[in-house]
């Protein structure tokens, strides 16, 4: 079987090995692939691995040999599943590999917003402490998490992991989810979204991107939040109306935002969040710890192996 990797650099920039995959199939590897290169590169492929390169109905039609698509991520909205089904193509993903890394990133953002460790460390390096008249100084108000309410939108594996950390910090955990969770790892209170917007001090998004959740947080939701609210998004950029969030930050409707994801990545220079006040943005790296990528590599290989054995696992098609 000939397998093509369209955008392998994000998963493996050089610190992991493709050897286990090479033992299973013939591999053609590309660091990156532009949209107008996809069909050409898959012309004689039986299988493909993709992280963010989309596989559309047109690609499936142009590549009749294709029988397997492995998404090297949890989200698989880049694949036209109806077209895959029509052409008899199995599609798999890798759920859960980055759960702990994403939850950790939520608090990396939240702790920087509440304690500004990076800004204070930079000030010390620039000599502000040496020049200080006192033994201690702070550049910003410092916020304690204990006693605050953490609102989780979505309560899958990552939402639960985030909730565990929040509880360990002494936060009260509010949960809004479409499912009926039976998770009992820590105390939490189920609530409607409208109540969560109003009550939560910190709102962290952990829901999938669907037609129903696109633009989930826009001006009407932002107006309901506390003026001291902190909004964290490590899920999907289009869950937010970015212009509305930027306006809310500029007008003090909410206090802070921490973003790992944006609606377009890399973002265009005119994305309003890039210049919004009190908006901390990191470049979609919550998933990318070495441990998470190592798990992702291993699960990706096992998905391919299982397909070859005619027992596909993690199939989403």
User: How distant is the alpha carbon of residue 216 from its chain centre?
Assistant: 16
Q: Which two tokens stand for residue 146?
A: 């204990």
Residue 284: active-site member = yes
Maximal C-alpha separation, the chain: 73
Annotated catalytic residue, options 41, 256, 284, 293 = 284
The C-alpha angle 286, 205, 150, rounded to 5 degrees, equals 105
Of the residues 32, 227, 265, 313, which is catalytic?
265
Distance set, CA 235 to CA 44, 53, 60, 306, 311 (Å): 34, 18, 28, 28, 30
**Which of 21, 24, 27, 23 is CA-nearest to residue 6?**
27
Instruction: Decide if 199 is catalytic.
Output: no
The residue annotated as part of the active site, out of 116, 206, 236, 295, is: 236
Whether residue 254 contacts residue 230, with contact meaning beta carbons closer than 8 Å, is answered with yes
Question: Torsion-angle region of residue 228: left (phi > 0), alpha (psi -120 to 50) or beta?
Answer: alpha
Does the annotation mark 206 as catalytic?
no
Q: Which residues are catalytic?
A: 236, 265, 284
């Amino acid at each position: 079987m000939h397998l093509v990797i369209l955008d392998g650099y994000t998963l493996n920039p050089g610190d992991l090995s493709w050897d286990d995959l090479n033992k299973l199939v013939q591999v053609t590897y590309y660091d990156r692939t532009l949209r107008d290169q996809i069909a050409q590169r898959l012309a004689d492929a039986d299988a493909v691995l993709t992280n963010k390169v989309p596989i559309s109905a047109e690609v499936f039609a142009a590549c009749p040999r294709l029988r397997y698509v492995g998404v090297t991520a949890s989200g698989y909205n880049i694949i036209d599943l109806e077209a895959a089904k029509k052409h008899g193509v199995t599609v798999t993903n890798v759920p859960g590999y980055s759960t702990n890394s994403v939850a950790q990133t939520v608090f990396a953002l939240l702790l920087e917003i509440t304690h500004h460790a990076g800004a204070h460390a930079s000030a010390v390096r620039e000599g502000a402490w040496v020049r200080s008249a006192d033994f201690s100084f702070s550049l910003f108000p410092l916020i304690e998490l204990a006693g605050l309410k953490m609102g989780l939108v979505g309560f899958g594996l990552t939402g639960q992991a985030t909730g565990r950390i929040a509880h360990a910090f002494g936060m009260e955990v509010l949960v809004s989810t479409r499912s009926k969770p039976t998770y009992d790892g820590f105390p939490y209170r189920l609530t409607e979204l409208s109540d969560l917007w109003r009550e939560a001090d910190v709102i962290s998004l952990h829901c999938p991107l669907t037609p129903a959740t696109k633009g989930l947080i826009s001006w009407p939701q932002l107006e309901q939040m506390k003026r001291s609210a902190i909004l964290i998004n490590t899920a999907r950029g289009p869950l937010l109306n970015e212009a509305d969030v930027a306006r809310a930050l500029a007008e003090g409707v909410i206090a802070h935002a921490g973003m790992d994801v944006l609606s377009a990545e890399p973002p265009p220079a005119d994305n309003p969040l890039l210049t919004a006040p009190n908006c901390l943005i990191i470049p979609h790296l919550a998933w990318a710890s070495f441990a998470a990528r190592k798990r992702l590599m291993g699960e990706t290989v096992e998905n391919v192996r299982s397909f070859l054995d005619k027992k596909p696992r993690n199939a989403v098609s």
